[in-house]
Amino acid sequence: MKEKVWKNCPSCGAHDSMNYRSNLRERIEGKGYKPFSVHGLDGYICSKCHDGILTIKAENRLRVEIMENRAHQDSARIPANALIPVEVIAKSLRVPRQTVHWMMRAGRMPFVYVGKQRFPFNDKSKKIVVKGKSYRISDLAVSR
């Protein structure tokens, strides 16, 4: 996708109010997770309403950082029997196993670390979107 240069504010409608910044900080709070901050994000901030839009690149990095941070926090508390083998998810989604690995790396599927390996895990509250369709992780955990 091509990076958009923002000039007018999509939130308040002000003209020529968007200024590029490369040092934005996003504080991430999630239910059941310790809050943390991601630094050095770039995007545009409106000089009128102070709403901001991250660049696509920064959005992607933010998503990966959130998933990585949660993976580390979850690794300590997810029991081994909640881990789902990558091939089970791949079969449920009818995609190659590499796709599942890519989704975890790209921050599109929640995972935990076991050593250095990433594993998806069974959690009723977590959903993923694949090709525009939403799936509950717990539904994908069942071998068919």
**CB nearer Zn ion, residue 18 or residue 78:** 18
Residue 30 half-sphere exposure, CB side, CA atoms within 13 Å?
15
**CB nearer Zn ion, residue 44 or residue 119:** 44
Does position 9 bind Zn ion by CB under 5 A?
A: yes
Does position 78 bind Zn ion by CB under 5 A?
A: no
Cβ pair 119, 87 in contact under 8 A: no
27 phi/psi in degrees, rounded to 5: -95, 125
Does position 7 bind Zn ion by CB under 5 A?
A: no
Instruction: Report in angstroms how near the CB of residue 61 gets to Zn ion at its nearest.
Output: 24
Cβ pair 92, 140 in contact under 8 A: yes
Binding mask 34-63 for Zn ion (x = CB under 5 A): ------------x-xx--------------
Cβ pair 128, 89 in contact under 8 A: no
**CB nearer Zn ion, residue 46 or residue 104:** 46
Q: Rounded to an integer, what distance in angstroms lies between the CA atom of residue 57 and that of residue 45?
A: 16
Catalog residues that contact Zn ion under the rule CB under 5 A.
9, 11-12, 14, 46, 48-49
